[in-house]
Amino acid sequence: MRIGVIFPQIEYSTDAGAVRDYGLAAEALGYKHILAYDHVVGALRGSPSRPEWSGPYDHTHPFHEPFVLFGYWAGMTSRIEFATGVVILAQRQAVLVAKQAAALDVLSRGRLRLGVGIGWNAVEYEALGQNFKNRGKRSEEQVTLMRRLWTEELVTFEGKYHKIVDAGLNPLPIQRPIPVWFGGNAEALIERVGRMGDGWLPIRELPGDNFAAMLGRMRDYAKKAGRDPKSIGIESWVSIVNRPVEEALKDIEKWRGLGATHISLQTMSGGFTKPDQHIAAIRRFADAAPELFR
């Protein structure tokens, strides 16, 4: 199992030095990956234009653009993997995402894992000029197209939403193709993971009683598609704030028992007020559980 960390970016804001220090510390401590969330714009909560709008994040929460963030860290690190958890793919142009991902993969020497999802915030789709209502099916076509762009010098493609004639990316990525993981829990998403995902990011901290059934359905979908279910990675997150390390380790073992391949440790929204507190928390965990980092 690979143990990584979730970058607590809503508590980091504009301090570039603090961002630098977090990436360097995570690698030095032996973590295998840094996972970052994605939001392009935030909405005004309680706005007269959308009085019923609600969501976990609004315009007051800072989010660094993940490709820029990882590009910043790529130049100062050498081993740690970068994972998006998740890029809201359908609100972005597929060819541009393919280009950004390929560039990051080249500059990081093959250390990108691209988690994608369809998101929950129609406000972002509106701001970016994309259709919120067809985002699931459109994201499938986007992934199919991106994989061709990452593996072929020239691509001709005509789908329902995209058309390319004799064009291609240069440079191509190191990984051909870059691994694509899908995030979410809806049944359509579970089927999509089994049919075409390199991995799955279920949105939950603890497995829960129904997760084994969800996992079983995903593996059935994979078999139906002629794929080996064991080839599909599984990643979730475990909080390490305001609880004993032993409790977090028990949660990790629960996930391991279900076949999880990756765990990301969460310190965000745990009451910390300074960036150094997040680094201290991931250091304490690494020191207390060295067996996970061998």
Coil, strand, or helix at residue 112? strand
Q: What is the pLDDT of residue 210?
A: 84
What CA–CA distances, in Å, run from 172 to 90, 147, 200, 268, 291? 22, 11, 25, 35, 37
Reported as half-sphere exposure (CB side, CA atoms, 13 A), residue 193 has a value of 31
C-alpha span between 189 and 139 (Å, rounded):
11
Q: What is the pLDDT of residue 209?
A: 67
What CA–CA distances, in Å, run from 185 to 210, 261, 276, 294? 11, 18, 33, 31
Domain locations along the chain: 2-293
Give per-10-residue mean pLDDT for the chain (294 aa): 97 94 98 97 93 93 97 98 97 98 98 97 97 96 98 98 98 98 95 98 76 93 98 96 95 93 96 96 97 90
C-alpha span between 50 and 44 (Å, rounded):
9
Q: What is the pLDDT of residue 204?
A: 73
Angle at 203 (CA atoms; ends 201, 209), nearest 5 degrees = 105
Coil, strand, or helix at residue 135? helix
Token pair for residue 184? 């979410």
Token pair for residue 284? 């304490």
Q: Does domain 2-293 have CATH number 1.10.730.10?
A: no
Unique residue bearing structure tokens 């051909």: 176
Spell out the alpha helix ranges (H) of the chain: 16-28, 66-74, 94-107, 122-127, 135-151, 187-196, 211-224, 245-257, 275-288
Render 30-89 in DSSP notation, one character per residue: T-SEEEE---S--PPTT-TTSTT---S--TTS----HHHHHHHHHTT-SS-EEEES-EEG
N-terminal to C-terminal alpha carbon distance within the chain: 11
Token pair for residue 187? 């049944």
